Amino acid sequence: MNGNMWIRQIHRWLSIAFTLAVIANIVAMTMQLQAVWIGFLALVPLIPLLATGLYLFALPYLGQRRDARGEARS
């Protein structure tokens, strides 16, 4: 697997972890627990999820720029 596939896999697993953290936060809120760390639990996967998501979003645009430079040289 190349680097882009690794980023995609990491992004998918981070999204699952984020979803589970949000569900845990909702359950804690319905049980009226006042644990601040549960609220911050969702931020742990959210920050790298944001980074990988932005990278995956930018990939097509970076590829277009690379293709345009390659065609200009030919």
Q: pLDDT tens digits for 16-56?
A: 999 999 999 899 888 887 778 888 888 999 999 999 999 99
* pLDDT per position as a tens digit, 51-74: 999 999 999 888 777 666 666 555
Closest CA to 52 of 10, 2, 1, 5: 10
Q: What is the pLDDT of residue 15?
A: 96
Q: What is the pTM of this model?
A: 0.75
Size of the chain in residues: 74
Tokens of 28: 């804690």
CA distances for 36 relative to 7, 25, 47, 66, angstroms: 30, 10, 18, 46
